[in-house]
Chain A
Amino acid sequence: MRWIGNNTDLILGYLASHVWLSIVPTVLGFLLALPIGWWANRVPAVRGVVLSVGNVLYTIPSLAFILILPGVIGTGFLDPLNIVIALTVYAVAVMARFASDGFASVSPAVLDSARASGFGAAGLALRVELPLAGPVLLAGLRVVSVSTVSLVSVGALAGVDNLGRLFTEGVFTGNTAEILTGIVLVVALALVLDLLLVIAGRALLPWSAGARRVRGGVA
């Protein structure tokens, strides 16, 4: 406990950096995956390619990926951008599959009826398909958010400041308090982000929460 008290500035600095290193790739990955998933749902051939490429990307070991990136895109070896780009790639790889499944989950009858009512192509995609894919998109976003928070720690091995540094330094100096602090904060951050997503889902998809309650009530 004394160690924590003496190092609050350090810990808060790592925490802040961990937060934005987690949020930026999650948001970017989500936004990039939406059009990819929508397209994949339209064209079966695209879906096949997206799913295989996603699987292959996800098998690249994260540490190797982060270390190779500077050589590929010409960033500095210790640049946080390496982590942001690597984690965005992982986020897209996972999220595109969820997005494709989400758009596939929209009832064809509802789409047909919306088209017959006079929705144009853009209105159909943004005001019918996107919100109705919402529950599956949210499920995917929760997976991506938690896995990104945990993957950021790996960046510590590539010299980027974040909560992962508490593990590496703690192991190096044999400081158990430091290691435990790192673990607790990473888990807490993952839980808080997940909770925020659930709350956002309740607010943005009230019809879906209602559907769950009613189904539960009837059963």
Chain B
Amino acid sequence: MIEYRSVGKTFSGGNAAVADFDLVIPSHTTTVFVGSSGCGKTTLLRMVNRMVEPTSGQVLIDDVDVASRNPVELRRSIGYVMQASGLLPHRSVLDNVGTVLRLQGVSRAETRRRSLELMETVGLDTALADRYPHQLSGGQQQRVGVARALVTDPNILLMDEPFGAVDPIVRDELQAELLRLQRELGKTIVFVTHDIDEAFLLGDQVVILAKGGQRAQVGTPADILAAPANDFVRSFVGLDKGGRELHVEERDGVQVVVDAQGRATGVLKG
């Protein structure tokens, strides 16, 4: 469990990225921070592995304040995936996947074995093991990024707009893959995105953030759609312009669900 207790962050320029933020992130679920740029979502994410230090309040993992932990050790114990994968350009795919194991002093042979295993887990052809990152497609690089984050079998996985830089088809694929992995692995995932559809697809708990890290609404996607807390949320999730309104049309006794543009999207089952 990850817990934010009245967390604030004011950067040296004096602007408050986050103020008095409280949240509980239950274990083995996916929590998505979603909001426009400048809402503090990445700042909040990076507080979990001390890449950003709060100026007030505490962040706790299983009731232990992360500020009391050695930052380097803490980071090695938490998986981290970022946009454009952040892979080391001078190391092969296999070495990139095994990076943290080597940092933890795991032997070369064991690192190799577990890295190859992880490549398979995330759906990467092991024939790519000796390539360098720049020789892979964007989607493949992102899978390497996920494999690298999972190789130590961490309890927590932090994902900072991991699928932001790939084309929509590959993004759909990677999202489906992440859902499959999460069903198998049951990690505590904290995911940052500006895409509300991605948030609703992946999140068990969705945190909609307004400027300055204010919680506009926290809940399951269904909760939020059923009862948007205010106009900001209504507009952010696309309820204001009717974009999410579906209605039913009957055809020969079958109830067909039609979206706002009049496109048939499915049938209603009794």
Contacts and interface: CB of A to CB of B under 8 A. Distances in A.
Range class of the A interface residue count: 20 to 34
Contacts of A120: 72
B146 to A, nearest CB: 13
A109 B82 contact: yes
Interface stretch (A167-175, A189-197, A207-215): A207-215
Contacts, number: 64
A116 B75 CA distance: 6
B84 A118 contact: no
A116 B51 contact: yes
A109 B90 contact: no
A207 B91 contact: yes
Given A132-B89, A207-B89, A210-B132, A117 B84 contact: no
A131 B90 contact: yes
B195 to A, nearest CB: 20
Contact of B80 (A110, A117, A210, A214): A117
Interface in A68-123: 107, 109-110, 112-120, 123
A158 interface: no
A128 interface: yes
A116 B135 contact: no
Interface of A: 107, 109-110, 112-120, 123, 128, 131-132, 134, 205, 207-208, 210-211, 214
B75 A128 contact: no
A131 B75 CA distance: 22
Nearest to B84: A109
Contacts of A128: 88
A118 B149 CA distance: 11
Contacts of A214: 134-135
B86 interface: yes
What DSSP secondary structure best describes chain A's contact surface?
Answer: helix
B76 A210 contact: no
A113 B134 contact: no
Given A113-B80, A210-B135, A211-B132, A118 B86 contact: no
A165 to B, nearest CB: 44
19 contacts: A109-B82, A110-B86, A110-B87, A110-B88, A110-B89, A112-B86, A113-B85, A113-B86, A114-B86, A115-B75, A116-B49, A116-B80, A118-B72, A118-B103, A128-B88, A207-B132, A208-B90, A210-B132, A210-B134
Interface string B82-100: 1011111111000000011
B19 to A, nearest CB: 24
B75 A113 contact: no
A110 B89 CA distance: 8
Nearest to A114: B88
Contacts of A131: 90
Which of B46, B73, B75, B90 gathers most chain A CB within 10 Å? B90
A113 B86 CA distance: 5
A214 B133 CA distance: 12
Nearest to A128: B88
B148 interface: yes
Interface string B177-196: 00000000000000000000
